[in-house]
A and B are shown apart, each in its own frame.
Chain A
Amino acid sequence: QVELVESGGGVVQPGRSLRLSCAASGFTFGRSGMHWVRQAPGKGLEWVAIIWFDGSKTYYADSVEGRFTISRDNFKNTLYLQLNSLGAEDTAIYYCARDFRTGWIDYWGQGALVTVSS
């Protein structure tokens, strides 16, 4: 079965960086686009980024454009999100998710909590 396991979350100071990873299994990772979606505490879902199955295209939310970078390693079946210049507004659970028919999501990980605090 499809499994997505995020790691790398934690507490980070404002202005610092963090890299999240998502280990994928149970499907052919190199054939699927992948998303990151986040959810601030007590708030709704916010789409963050998508990367094409082969890494050839990426798109970002305006709120993270220029600060976050989505990437992937199809040999390691792993998705990444590099988070730079973090602010309090980036505090959230970050979900790794599998793309379904470009733009939709059919499987989600359990999430990694990122807390930006001094």
Chain B
Amino acid sequence: EIVLTQSPATLPLSPGERATLSCRASQSVSSSLVWYQQKPGQAPRLLIYGVSNRATGIPARFSGSGSGTDFTLTISSLEPEDFAVYYCQQGVSWPATFGQGTKVEIK
């Protein structure tokens, strides 16, 4: 099973600041890496697929990068609605696995 480790667990930032979230895999996932956003009481929402492709309707301030085992989700300038929990997930091998999440909170 591929283990995904996200860091930091919590990221306190202010609106307008840049957020950088990390996801590290225990072995290569090639480009089969996606990011989701989850707000309290809601189902997750797809943000980024295939490392760097924004899903439909996702603003350009969200971007993804990386390859192999190290991946990054960047939010260039935080909007109030971006404070949420973010999860990475790999689909290169079964079982699929999620990272434990990074909570972006208001400082």
Q: Which residues of A contact B (CB under 8 A)?
A: 35, 37, 44-47, 50, 59-62, 95, 100-111
- B43 near A47: Cβ-Cβ < 8 Å: no
Q: Once the chains are docked, how many angstroms separate the CA of A47 from the CA of B87?
A: 12
Q: B55 → chain A, closest Cβ, in Å? A: 7
Q: Which residues of B contact A61 (CB under 8 A)?
A: 95
Q: Once the chains are docked, how many angstroms separate the CA of A102 from the CA of B38?
A: 21
Partner of A100, one of B38, B44, B49, B87: B49
Number of B residues with CB within 8 Å of any CB on chain A: 26
Q: Which residues of A contact B87 (CB under 8 A)?
A: 44-45
Q: Which residues of B contact A106 (CB under 8 A)?
A: 46, 49, 55
Q: A116 → chain B, closest Cβ, in Å? A: 21
Per DSSP, chain A at the interface is strand
Q: Which residues of B contact A47 (CB under 8 A)?
A: 89, 95-98
- B46 near A105: Cβ-Cβ < 8 Å: yes
11 A-B pairs, CB-CB below 8 angstroms? A50-B96, A59-B94, A59-B96, A61-B95, A62-B1, A62-B95, A95-B44, A101-B50, A103-B90, A105-B46, A108-B43
- B34 near A104: Cβ-Cβ < 8 Å: yes
Q: Nearest A residue to B97 by beta-carbon distance?
A: A47
